[in-house]
C-alpha cells in the first residue's frame, strides 16, 4: 500500500509539549512528527474534533517548550491587523500579515461554522497554525482557504480562539467532545414561508420533525414551529441554530422562543 504524508502547522500551548493543530492535518495518520527548531519529536493524539477541525497532540519528550497564549477572539474587530504563522508548502516557519476581513463567517463546511476571515496569506501547509493579534495573542487557528488555484487569494479562514479554547479544554480533560442537542429536524425559513405564517421578517428555523423523547419534544416544541430565539440569542437562519444549541450547557434549562399560530411562545428545554 502506497504511503502518503500530510503536512501542516501547529503551535505549543503548554511547556510540556502540548500542540494544537487541525484535525484534517492528522486524521488517519499512522505516525505524527512535530518539528520544533529543526528538531523532530514523535507525537500522539490526545483528542480530536472533526466538526470543529481541532486536534490536540502531545510530543513524546521531557523537553520544555515556550508556549503561546490565547487572546479574546470576541474582541477582534473587522480591520484589526493580524499575523499568520505556519509552514506553507513545507518551506518552514513563514510569517504573513493582513487584516480581519470578516467575522462569524459560515462557509457551509460543518454545522458549527463561525470563522474569522482574513486576507493574511494562508497557503497549503498553513493549516493548524496560529493567527496572532498585535499583542502576540492567538485569536484564531488557521484552518482553510477559498481558492480555485490552491494558492492564497486573500480568502483565509481561522477558527476563533474562544471556540477553539472550549474544544481544546474538553479534549485535554476527557479526550472527547460533548455537545448539547435539541432533537429537531429543521429547514430554512424562506420569504414565502415567513409571509404565509404572518412572520414580519425572514429569520428562524422551521421545525420539520422531532426525535421522540428528545429535549425539544419533551418541552413541547411542535412540527411547524419557527424557532426564532435560543437562550436569548436570535436565530438569524437555520444554520445558526445548531451552533447556538451546541454552545448550551448540558443538563441546564434553556429558553426556546417559537412562532406558532401568529404568536411568540417561550418553552423551556
161 in catalytic set? no
Which residue is catalytic, options 48, 49, 53, 121? 53
Torsion angle defined by CA atoms of residues 60, 62, 63 and 66, in that order, rounded to the nearest 10 degrees: 80
CB count in 10 Å sphere of residue 198? 10
How far is 165 from 170, CA to CA, in rounded Å?
A: 9
For residue 34, what are the β-bridge partners?
A: 41
DSSP character for 240?
Answer: H
CB-based burial of residue 171 (10 Å sphere; 0-12 exposed, 13-18 middle, 19+ buried)? buried
Which residue is catalytic, options 9, 121, 127, 238? 127
45: left (phi over 0), alpha (psi -120 to 50) or beta: beta
53 in catalytic set? yes
Q: Long-range contact list for 248-252, CB < 8 A, 24+ apart?
A: 248/180, 249/180, 250/178, 250/179, 250/180
How far is 17 from 46, CA to CA, in rounded Å?
A: 12
133 in catalytic set? no
Strands, sheet with 54-59, edge to edge from the N-terminal-most edge strand: 11-14, 18-21, 54-59, 39-49, 32-36
Closest CA to 132 of 167, 96, 168: 96
Burial code of 138-155, b = ≥16 C-beta within 10 A, e = fewer? Answer: bbbbbbbbeeeeeebeeb
Active site members: 24, 53, 127
Amino acid at each position: 500500500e502506497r504511503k502518503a504524508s500530510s503536512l501542516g502547522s501547529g503551535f505549543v500551548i503548554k511547556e510540556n509539549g502540548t500542540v494544537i493543530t487541525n484535525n484534517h492535518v492528522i486524521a488517519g495518520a499512522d505516525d505524527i512528527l512535530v518539528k520544533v527548531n529543526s528538531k523532530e519529536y514523535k507525537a500522539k493524539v490526545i483528542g480530536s474534533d472533526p466538526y470543529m477541525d481541532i486536534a490536540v497532540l502531545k510530543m513524546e519528550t521531557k523537553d520544555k517548550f515556550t508556549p503561546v497564549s490565547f487572546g479574546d477572539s470576541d474582541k477582534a474587530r473587522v480591520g484589526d491587523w493580524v499575523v499568520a504563522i505556519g509552514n506553507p508548502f513545507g518551506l518552514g516557519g513563514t510569517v504573513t500579515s493582513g487584516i480581519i476581513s470578516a467575522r462569524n463567517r459560515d462557509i457551509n463546511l460543518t454545522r458549527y461554522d463561525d470563522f474569522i476571515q482574513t486576507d493574511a496569506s494562508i497557503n497549503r501547509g498553513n493549516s493548524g497554525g496560529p493567527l496572532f493579534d498585535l499583542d502576540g495573542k492567538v485569536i484564531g487557528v488557521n484552518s482553510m482557504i477559498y481558492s480555485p488555484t490552491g494558492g492564497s487569494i486573500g480568502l483565509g479562514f481561522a477558527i476563533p480562539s474562544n471556540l477553539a479554547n472550549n474544544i481544546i479544554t474538553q479534549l485535554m480533560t476527557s479526550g472527547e467532545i460533548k455537545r448539547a442537542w435539541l432533537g429537531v429536524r429543521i429547514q430554512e425559513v424562506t420569504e414565502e414561508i415567513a409571509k404565509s405564517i404572518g412572520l414580519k421578517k425572514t429569520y428562524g428555523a422551521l421545525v420539520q420533525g422531532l426525535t421522540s423523547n428528545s429535549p425539544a419534544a419533551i418541552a413541547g416544541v411542535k412540527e411547524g414551529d419557527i424557532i426564532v430565539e435560543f437562550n436569548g440569542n436570535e436565530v438569524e437562519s437555520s444554520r445558526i441554530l445548531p451552533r447556538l444549541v451546541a454552545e448550551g450547557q448540558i443538563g441546564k434549562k434553556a429558553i426556546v422562543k417559537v412562532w406558532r399560530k401568529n404568536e411568540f411562545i417561550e418553552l423551556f428545554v
